[in-house]
């Protein structure tokens, strides 16, 4: 069962400033960086799907485990962390300490999940899935560095960091996706386009601490969707679809900006009009940046993202999470729980509002949003998950 302590620990990444000893034209936040990293991991992973060593679950869980590790060791500068990592014994001791710090909040997820967390950091960094995550981490870091470097090109350590990143880039050219990124500008443009969601603030008209971006929020939704999927013992394909629906569900907002629900509901038919415009802009601006064979999957993640669907005889069919549990919880049906992702999206918004209120925001709009979401879900059961229990944790 997912509890309040874990939810708030994951959300701690929204407070964590990156490059905080360098001149930055904008704030660079850890939650946003990890979200961008997982978008890049998806891109790189799509080029490796035919490799028998590739596994989407390893990519997703590796991303979650690395985020949790980063939250705990936030005070370690990267050079010190990588120095520790070179010493196997010291690195193991560090990760044992990290797990002790997290054990209390991870234990409700079950023994298997906790054991996978511990084993992950003992695995070789040379495995395909770890290398994809490492390459995605590198690319997201380099993307940020380009911003920092532009602000202060002659600054202290800038030249050293630039040379270090150039050397690291060469390590990943054996990955098909990294090779494609260097050859095709449209692929780089896709990563850049997704990265723009780091600059779009949620609840932009309200004073909040911490501020959250659309992309950071999307990763939070993705992680919640995946953990809920584990709780209901979803098949692997269902877990993967739910995670990436969470990660990409707000991608159209890079073209329309974040339009809050009250505005969408304020005029009859406005929500449908916005949805139609989003689809039109996705066709015009996004699909041309990625391989055509990826289009159906990205459509599933971004269009009617909150519908639960299955695929039967090649045809996509609307379903329900209850029906998927009972009949279609099998990889061959390519199931996706839109209802569960929607619940995760609402829970993420509830936590954003709750934390802002706890941190001193007196906005009546945040108070109203918090109460509205809680009331909406306090008696809701989706795929055998009692959401009332989760919201009761915040009473």
> What digits encode the pLDDT tens for the residues 347-393?
999 999 999 999 998 889 999 999 999 999 999 999 999 999 999 99
Contact 340, 229 (CB under 8 A): yes
Cα dihedral across residues 289, 294, 295, 301: positive or negative: negative
For the chain, how many helices (H) and strands (E)? Answer: 20, 4
For residues 186 and 188, give the distance between their C-alpha atoms in angstroms, rounded to a whole number. 5
Q: Helix, strand, coil proportions of the chain in percent (round to 5)?
A: 70, 5, 25
Residue 348's SS3 state is helix
308 is written with which tokens?
């639960």
Instruction: Let me know the angle formed at the C-alpha of 361 by 355 and 366, rounded to the nearest 5 degrees.
Output: 70
79 is written with which tokens?
């050079």
Cis peptide before 210 (omega within 30 of 0): yes
Contact 64, 34 (CB under 8 A): no
Q: How many CB atoms lie within 10 A of CB 54?
A: 17
Q: To which residue do tokens 């990436």 refer?
A: 244
Query: 20 exposed, middle or buried (CB, 10 Å; 0-12, 13-18, 19+)?
Result: exposed
Q: Which domains does the chain have, with CATH numbers?
A: 4-195 (1.10.3210.10), 214-392 (1.10.3210.10)
What is the reported pLDDT for 269?
A: 57
Q: Average pLDDT across each block of 10 residues of the chain; the chain has 395 residues. List them in order.
A: 94 95 93 98 97 97 98 87 90 95 96 97 93 97 96 93 91 94 94 96 90 97 98 98 97 73 53 75 92 96 94 94 96 97 97 95 91 94 94 90
Backbone angles phi, psi at 362, to 5 degrees: -100, 15
Mean pLDDT, the chain, whole residue set: 93
Buried b (16+ CB within 10 A) or exposed e, 175-201: bebbebbeeeeebbebbebbbebbebb
What is the reported pLDDT for 263?
A: 45
pLDDT digits (tens, 9 = 90+) for 214-233: 999 999 999 999 999 999 99
For residues 180 and 31, give the distance between their C-alpha atoms in angstroms, rounded to a whole number. 26
What is the reported pLDDT for 362?
A: 83
For residues 38 and 135, give the distance between their C-alpha atoms in angstroms, rounded to a whole number. 11
pLDDT digits (tens, 9 = 90+) for 87-122: 989 999 999 999 999 999 999 999 999 999 999 999
Backbone angles phi, psi at 204, to 5 degrees: -60, -25
What is the reported pLDDT for 257?
A: 60
């Amino acid at each position: 069962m997912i509890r309040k302590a874990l939810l708030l620990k994951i959300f701690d990444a929204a407070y964590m400033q990156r490059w905080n000893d360098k001149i930055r034209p904008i704030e660079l936040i850890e939650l946003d960086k990890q979200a961008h990293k997982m978008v890049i991991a998806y891109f790189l992973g799509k080029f490796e799907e035919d490799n028998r060593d590739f596994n989407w679950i390893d990519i997703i869980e590796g991303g979650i485990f690395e985020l949790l590790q980063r939250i705990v060791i936030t005070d370690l500068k990267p050079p010190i962390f990588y120095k520790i990592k070179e010493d196997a014994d010291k690195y193991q001791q560090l990760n044992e300490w990290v797990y002790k710090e997290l054990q209390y909040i991870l234990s409700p997820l079950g023994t298997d999940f906790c054991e996978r967390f511990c084993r992950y950091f003992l695995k070789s960094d040379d495995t395909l899935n770890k290398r994809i995550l490492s390459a995605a981490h590198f690319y997201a870091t380099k993307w940020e560095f380009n911003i920092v470097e532009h602000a202060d090109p002659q600054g202290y350590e800038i030249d050293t960091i630039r040379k270090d990143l150039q050397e690291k880039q060469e390590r990943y050219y054996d990955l098909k996706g990294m090779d494609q990124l260097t050859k095709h500008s449209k692929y780089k443009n896709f990563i850049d386009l997704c990265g723009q969601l780091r600059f779009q603030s949620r609840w932009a008209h309200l004073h909040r601490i911490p501020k959250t971006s659309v992309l950071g929020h999307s990763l939070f939704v993705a992680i919640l969707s995946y953990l809920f999927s584990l709780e209901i013992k979803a098949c692997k394909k269902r877990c993967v679809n739910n995670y990436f629906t969470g990660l990409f569900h707000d991608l159209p907002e890079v073209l329309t900006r974040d339009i809050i629900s009250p505005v969408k509901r304020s005029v009859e038919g406005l929500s449908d009009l916005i949805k139609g415009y989003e689809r039109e802009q996705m066709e015009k601006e996004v699909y041309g940046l990625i391989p055509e064979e990826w289009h159906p999957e990205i459509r599933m993640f971004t269009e009617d993202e909150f519908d639960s669907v299955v695929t039967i005889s090649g045809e996509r069919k609307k379903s329900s999470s209850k029906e998927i549990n009972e009949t279609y919880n099998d990889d061959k049906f390519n199931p996706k729980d839109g209802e569960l992702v929607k619940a995760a999206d609402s829970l993420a918004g509830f936590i954003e509002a709750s934390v802002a209120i706890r941190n001193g925001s007196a906005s009546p709009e945040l108070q109203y949003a918090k109460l509205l979401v809680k009331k909406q879900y306090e008696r809701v059961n989706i795929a055998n998950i009692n959401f009332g229990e989760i919201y009761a944790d915040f009473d």
